[in-house]
Amino acid sequence: MKNNSFDVNVELNIETLQSGELTRTKISELGKYTQIGKAIYLRFNESLDNNDSASILVKITDDGEIHVKRVAQSTNLASLLYFTHHQHNNGHLQTEYGTMPLDTFTKDSKVEIVSNPLSGKINIDYDLIYDNNVIGNYKFRLIFSA
């Protein structure tokens, strides 16, 4: 099984529409690209206030499903969301008070990766759903390059 790992520059832009309010988040960090078999992993940190950080792992499975895991130990929050083109998926948010089920509906997803030179784009447009209610619309745009 082939295992390739490379340092990459990661730029993540997230656009969130919740209750009619639009917010934009931009993260630019150094990260690690790893390929194990046909699965691809991108790991990087998100800088938070007070010199804290959250670790983010994006996994692209060999069948094209995208998993996004975010862990912020300082706030006791961890989320794991799954994205499959045009499908509903079950995920969750782990808090200090317990686990909240969070579902996603992936309206659109696209992954483009070029191996030489190593670079890629991961785009996900999705609805975040709690208790059968859409609580937000998201646009996730990740670009990386070695």
Domain ranges of the chain: 3-134
Per-residue pLDDT, 2: 54
Per-residue pLDDT, 51: 78
Give the residue ranges of the chain where pLDDT is below 70.
1-3
DSSP 11-75: EEEEEEEETTEEEEEEEEEEEEEEEETTEEEEEEEEE-GGG-EEEEEEEE-TTS-EEEEEEEGGG
Per-residue pLDDT, 3: 61
* pLDDT tens digits, one per residue of 109-144: 999 999 889 999 999 999 999 999 999 999 999 999
Architecture of domain 3-134: Beta Barrel (2.40)
Please state the pTM of the whole predicted model. 0.93
